[in-house]
Amino acid sequence: MTSLGSLSANQKTQIRNAFTLIDGESRDSLITKEDLKNIYSSIDLKQPTDSQLTKMLTIDNKDCSKKGITFAQFSNILAKEFSFIEEKSVIYDSLKVFANDDKLDNGDDLQVDLNELKDSCCSITLPENKKLSRSSFDTLVKGFTSQTMDGKKVFLASKWIEAYID
């Protein structure tokens, strides 16, 4: 798990500012259901249901919605989320090697040549002298493939990253 010590000073400041903003007028150093309702109202978003608010205030399967979450809890949640962003970008950049610029759609929806990626992944020797089988590869990417107008098979990398890294 990412610790707060691994965050930049700018990230720590952003976390403090976000906490202060959400804590709102109560300034009780807790983010409560009422604080969340107020922030949603202030930015003119639809109010979450009570169960959604409870889920937002649940940490490691522990319901903290009765008393609220502290700055330390909030900071740890965001530090963990920042680590996912970094991990996603590393995976994204690695998969970009297999993409031509014409395979990047608007919004950086990364699509890579499926056969090229499969050949590469299945040719690497893993620990204990094992290799990823082509059928195992097909299982791992199932549901994340498509075919282009010219008949090429592509791996929908961005969608896979969103599904598996979150």
Q: 100 pLDDT band (50/70/90 cuts)?
A: low
Asked if residue 90 is part of any domain, the answer here is no
Asked if residue 124 is part of any domain, the answer here is yes
Domain end point (choices 44, 61, 83): 83
Least confident segment among 6-10, 36-40, 93-97: 6-10
Range of 101's domain?
Answer: 97-165
On the question of pLDDT at 73 being above 90, the answer is yes
d(CA 57, CA 41) in angstroms, rounded, equals 18
Domain end point (choices 25, 49, 83): 83
Q: How much is the mean pLDDT over the chain?
A: 85
